[in-house]
Amino acid sequence: MGLRFLTAGESHGRGLTGILEGMPAGLRLDAAYLMKQAVRRKMGYGRGNRQKIETDQIEITGGVRHGLTLGSPIALWIENRDFKNWQDVMQAEDCPGSVKRRVDVPRPGHADLVGGLKYRHKDLRNVLERASARETAIRVALGSVARRFLEELGIVIGSRVVALGDVSDDTPAGDPATLNDRADRSPVRALGREKELVAFIERAKAAGDTVGGVIEVVAGGLPSGLGSHVQWDRRLEAPIAEAFMSLNAIKGVEIGGGFKTAATPGSRAHDEFEPGPGGRVRYRTNRSGGIDGGITTGQALVVRAAMKPLATLMRPLGSVDLRTGKAAAAHIERSDVCAVPSAAVIGESLLALVLAGAVLEKFGGDSMEEIAPRVKRWRKSGTSI
């Protein structure tokens, strides 16, 4: 069945809950490992004051005993420290009298309006609290469990920012195993053009504007054979695209050459083969981004995603007050100027969840004792490059 997960909680509610089902028994796991990734999600130049309030301390409340997974659902909890300032606004209990911090003016580009219409909410806070990117804190925690599983099998994931607005960084990503070490040294998580990228954020901040960009997430050490060509929904690109498009503000996803491939002649779009050692076939290039026909090739898997500028602007866009029907400036909620570096880190967890599910689907097993040898035998069988 692979993996499945659920999250619950609001941005300024008591906290965030996550449940991950399908992780095999016998995987060594502790909260300290998860916290390393939680801290990385908070990184990035252009983040707002919320990152100074929240510690994102992760508590494992189920599925792990004495540092090892049990095979049962793994439950995680993150307390929202800011809840103490919002308790009378976000409490679950009935609140007599008027509701504080009501939101009546939707933000263009956010879920405010459509969510309010769909669920018949008069107060748009009922929408924006759940639609907030705060939810990604618990998704990163769940994805970090999947990352720990993949690491045991020799699979690593890294990420970086390749563009902010119209400022691009074309520095080669290099080895996926060292990508995060290099990218995390930069306040914008880029490998080059750091000063120009920071300056771009500064100009947007001064103008009361926000910044979008493009992230790249790379997985190395993958075995070939994950995914399948035999049904549309088993092609590995499908769950990858779904996972990335589920992230707040992501409006486009590509693998390998992606959209540029559409303008490239076939003679320069595909990866030619050549004889490799031990009678294996070797790829000369990796233009496909590690997937052919919905199946991993064994090369690095390269995913890029485009993130639109955030919908909350300090100089708000035009909107409508839903109480009066008259024109009004859009609601202002505490926000970031740029969250693209954070999106790259979140993307690592999203890809980890998809790849962990694909590994479990192919190799099966209820424990690490079963799964790890199967992956090892597959790698040695000559089916991988």
The domain locations on the chain are 4-380
Q: How many Å apart are CA 92 and CA 78, to the nearest integer?
A: 17
How much is the pLDDT for 296? 97
User: To which H or E segment does residue 68 belong?
Assistant: strand 68-69
Amino acid type, 17: T
* Residue 24 and residue 32 in contact, taking contact as beta carbons nearer than 8 Å: no
* Residue 371 and residue 364 in contact, taking contact as beta carbons nearer than 8 Å: yes
Q: Tens-digit pLDDT profile for the chain (385 aa)? A: 579 999 999 999 999 999 999 999 999 999 999 999 999 998 888 787 777 788 899 999 999 999 999 999 999 999 999 999 999 899 998 877 767 899 999 999 999 999 999 999 999 999 999 999 999 999 999 999 999 999 999 999 999 999 999 999 999 999 999 999 999 999 999 999 999 999 999 999 999 999 999 999 999 999 999 999 999 999 999 999 999 999 999 999 999 999 999 999 999 999 999 998 888 889 999 999 999 999 999 999 999 999 999 998 989 999 999 999 999 999 988 778 999 999 999 999 999 999 999 999 999 999 999 999 999 999 988 655 5
The CA-CA-CA angle for residues 335, 246, 189, to 5°, reads: 55
Say how far residue 261 (Cα) sits from the centre of its chain.
24
What are the strands of the beta sheet with 74-79, ordered from one edge? 4-8, 15-21, 74-79, 58-62
Amino acid type, 60: I
pTM over 0.85: yes
Phi, psi of 266 (to 5 degrees): -55, -30
Q: How far is CA 350 from CA 74, 151, 233, in A?
A: 17, 15, 18
Phi, psi of 296 (to 5 degrees): -65, 145
Phi, psi of 200 (to 5 degrees): -60, -40
Q: How many Å apart are CA 267 and CA 252, to the nearest integer?
A: 26
* Tokens representing residue 250 in the block: 């992501």
* Tokens representing residue 334 in the block: 């505490």
Q: Which residue has the tokens 């003679």?
A: 267
For domain 4-380, which CATH number applies: 3.10.20.600, 3.40.1190.20, 3.40.50.970, 3.60.150.10? 3.60.150.10
Burial class (CB in 10 A: 0-12, 13-18, 19+), 170: exposed
How much is the pLDDT for 71? 98
Provide the residue count of the chain: 385
Rg (CA), the chain: 22
How much is the pLDDT for 334? 74
How far does the chain reach from its first CA to its final CA, in angstroms?
27
* Residue 88 and residue 77 in contact, taking contact as beta carbons nearer than 8 Å: no
* Tokens representing residue 370 in the block: 């079963």
Amino acid type, 239: P
Q: How many Å apart are CA 80 and CA 84, to the nearest integer?
A: 8
* Residue 58 and residue 34 in contact, taking contact as beta carbons nearer than 8 Å: yes
Q: How many Å apart are CA 164 and CA 341, to the nearest integer?
A: 10
How much is the pLDDT for 50? 72
Return the closest-CA partner of residue 149 out of 54, 314, 282, 34: 34
How much is the pLDDT for 383? 55
* Residue 174 and residue 182 in contact, taking contact as beta carbons nearer than 8 Å: yes
